[in-house]
């Protein structure tokens, strides 16, 4: 793991984006087709994370220090806990490419937080960029085949993004004097009991038990958690090594990859992921994603 210290924050976040985009496709498939309760999925993912985090703790045990960073690390874990719950709720009924695109408004939320709490002043160009991102995110929620009105999944995605934005700021503060992976480990163990509480629900307990007993499901979730945990580690390392605004901005390129992945899966493997593929829809998504990415880049300059 020592060689990771010599990787630039840009390399770290790009690797994270590649892994997290793949995970988004998997989560869409699993949350919408393979599992009944989001809470069952949340527990299963974190159950497998437990082994990876424990390994990280053993490797970095000398980096743990008793100071205030522990409190802030635990607090970041709480914000990420709610982020993931709302995120997986969004994946149940929302198209993965749209959900991830909406999550790209994170830099916008960070900008507002900076204005409110840090008294930062934004230029006219940045305010216009914010409008561009918001417009792109709204455009992403439009679904031609939906006749019942607004899809609540995209509201969940926005709420998840808000929690994530707050968590990012707390993590950046925590990594000032503490290794990024140590912060991540503390945040995980601080919130793992919340996932354990989900087993009190009988239906969740039975579903978790059945998935752990099923060899195919066990292997799939183990692999998903490995890729997901790797994405989280690279992201945390990038946050610890680089400017938070730029890290979040590059991370917001994820919609491009997810859009490509989801389109390819919809064409060649529709049983895994099936999204609307009309020319009008693809064009609308493309325009919306371009608006979001351009806006995020301008905000971060």
Residues 101, 104, 105, 107, Cα dihedral to 10°: -170
- 10 Å Cβ neighbour count for 148? 5
Q: Which helix (H) or strand (E) holds 133?
A: helix 124-140
Query: Is 158's pLDDT higher than 80?
Result: yes
User: pLDDT tens-digit profile of 186-222?
Assistant: 999 999 999 999 999 999 999 999 999 999 999 999 9
User: pLDDT tens-digit profile of 102-143?
Assistant: 887 777 777 777 677 656 666 788 778 777 877 887 777 676
Cβ neighbours of residue 286 closer than 8 Å, sequence gap 6 or more:
259
Q: What is the spatial distance between Cα 228 and Cα 234, in angstroms, rounded to a whole number?
A: 10
Q: Which two tokens stand for residue 101?
A: 């695109």
- The pTM of this model reads 0.85
Q: What is the spatial distance between Cα 36 and Cα 243, in angstroms, rounded to a whole number?
A: 39
């Amino acid at each position: 793991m020592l060689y990771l210290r010599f990787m630039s924050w840009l390399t770290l976040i790009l690797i994270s984006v590649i892994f997290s985009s793949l995970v988004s496709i998997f989560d869409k498939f699993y949350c919408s087709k393979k599992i009944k309760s989001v809470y069952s999925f949340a527990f299963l993912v974190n159950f497998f994370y437990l082994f990876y985090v424990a390994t990280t703790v053993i490797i970095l045990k000398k980096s743990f220090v008793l100071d205030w960073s522990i409190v802030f690390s635990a607090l970041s874990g709480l914000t990420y806990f709610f982020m993931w719950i709302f995120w997986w709720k969004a994946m149940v009924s929302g198209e993965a490419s749209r959900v991830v695109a909406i999550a790209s408004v994170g830099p916008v939320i960070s900008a507002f937080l900076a204005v409110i709490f840090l008294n930062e002043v934004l230029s006219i160009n940045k305010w216009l960029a914010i409008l561009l991102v918001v417009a792109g995110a709204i455009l992403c929620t439009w679904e031609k085949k939906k006749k019942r009105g607004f899809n609540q999944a995209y509201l969940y995605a926005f709420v998840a993004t808000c929690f994530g934005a707050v968590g990012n700021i707390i993590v950046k503060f925590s990594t000032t004097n503490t290794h990024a992976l140590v912060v991540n480990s503390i945040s995980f163990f601080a919130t793992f009991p919340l996932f354990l509480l989900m087993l009190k629900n009988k239906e969740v307990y039975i579903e978790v038990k059945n998935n752990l007993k099923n060899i195919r499901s066990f292997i799939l979730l183990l692999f998903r958690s490995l890729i997901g945990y790797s994405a989280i580690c690279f992201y945390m390392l990038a946050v610890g090594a680089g400017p938070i605004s730029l890290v979040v901005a590059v991370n917001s390129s994820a919609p491009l990859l997810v859009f490509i992945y989801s389109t390819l899966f919809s064409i060649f493997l529709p049983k895994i992921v099936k999204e609307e593929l009309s020319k009008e829809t693809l064009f609308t998504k493309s325009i919306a994603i371009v608006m979001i990415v351009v806006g995020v880049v301008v905000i971060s300059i």
